[in-house]
Amino acid sequence: MTKISIAPDDRVFVLTGAGISAESGLPTFRASDGLWAGHSIEDVCTPEAWKRNPALVWEFYSGRRSDGAKAEPNPAHVALAELEARLGERFFLCTQNVDDLHERAGSVRLVHMHGELTKARCERECGRPPVEDRKVYKSLDEVGRCACGGRLRPHIVFFGEIPLEMERIQDEIQKATLMVVVGTSGSVYPAANFVHWARQRGARTVYVGPEAPLNASAFTHVVEGKAGEVLPGLFAV
């Protein structure tokens, strides 16, 4: 089995996508039975959708909240938390996922670039920080308001909005000597560009997933397999 060796002066940047949570029972987006096969992005995941029909947007994310609450971290999430425990500040995790399975597995040095399912924030961008919110809403009347009067919206980066924490992410990519990308189709930007940024800095780049992503040619290694089967034995520290 392929081993990726991590030397004492390596710094590891990990990017994960929906595929890492697939073995926890959460659907990916672009599979034939994935989330975007059953829902139109334009109806539930754009600023226009929120303006037009906030009830439908909350219905979609409430469904994802109930699925997320039932799911458990799988061996892939655990393997990354264990790697962080060994590498400390030489490890950084950026996830595109809005579920909380990485933190429930023990990851700490992580950012959610596309937001978090367990939080909500003011629709008016009034400057107040996101609040914890795990409720599964049955109607829009149940959804709370911010202190400024704005309605609470899911703390999710909709298509057309700018991903979160980009400065910190860019800084960590600049420092990384090894980038490991897990379970993402390479079809959403800027995340699909991270591998190019890492390569420009001379880093080794490894992809793990059952099929090659769209940006496969940018990786120095592609390890084909399920994240939960590959990651626990992948790293030699």
- Helix, strand or coil, per DSSP, at residue 139: coil
Q: What part of residues 107-146 is at the interface with ligand APR (CB under 6 A)?
A: 114
CB 64 within 8 A of CB 137: no
Q: Encoding tokens for residue 170?
A: 């860019």
Q: Is 226 in the site for ligand APR (CB under 6 A)?
A: yes
> What is the separation of C-alpha 89 from the centre of its chain, rounded to a whole number of angstroms?
20
Q: Is 93 in the site for ligand APR (CB under 6 A)?
A: no
Active-site residues, by number, are 114
| The only residue of 14, 58, 94, 96 in contact with ligand APR, by rule CB under 6 A | 96
| The only residue of 6, 13, 26, 28 in contact with ligand APR, by rule CB under 6 A | 28
Q: Which is nearer to ligand APR, 144 or 210 (CB)?
A: 210
Q: CA-CA distance, 159 to 194, in Å (whole number)? A: 18
Query: Smallest gap, in angstroms, from Cβ of residue 145 to ligand APR?
Result: 26
Q: Is 227 in the site for ligand APR (CB under 6 A)?
A: yes
Q: CA-CA distance, 133 to 108, in Å (whole number)? A: 20
Q: Is 29 in the site for ligand APR (CB under 6 A)?
A: yes
Radius of gyration of the chain (CA): 18
Which among 4-12, 103-111, 169-177, 208-216 is the span making contact with ligand APR, rule CB under 6 A? 208-216
Q: Is 52 left (phi over 0), alpha (psi -120 to 50) or beta?
A: alpha
Q: Is 154 in the site for ligand APR (CB under 6 A)?
A: no
| Burial class of residue 122 in the structure, from the number of CB atoms within 10 Å of its CB (0-12 exposed, 13-18 middle, 19+ buried) | buried
Which stretches of the chain bind ligand APR, using CB under 6 A? 17-20, 22-23, 28-30, 34, 96, 114, 182-185, 187-188, 209-211, 213, 226-227
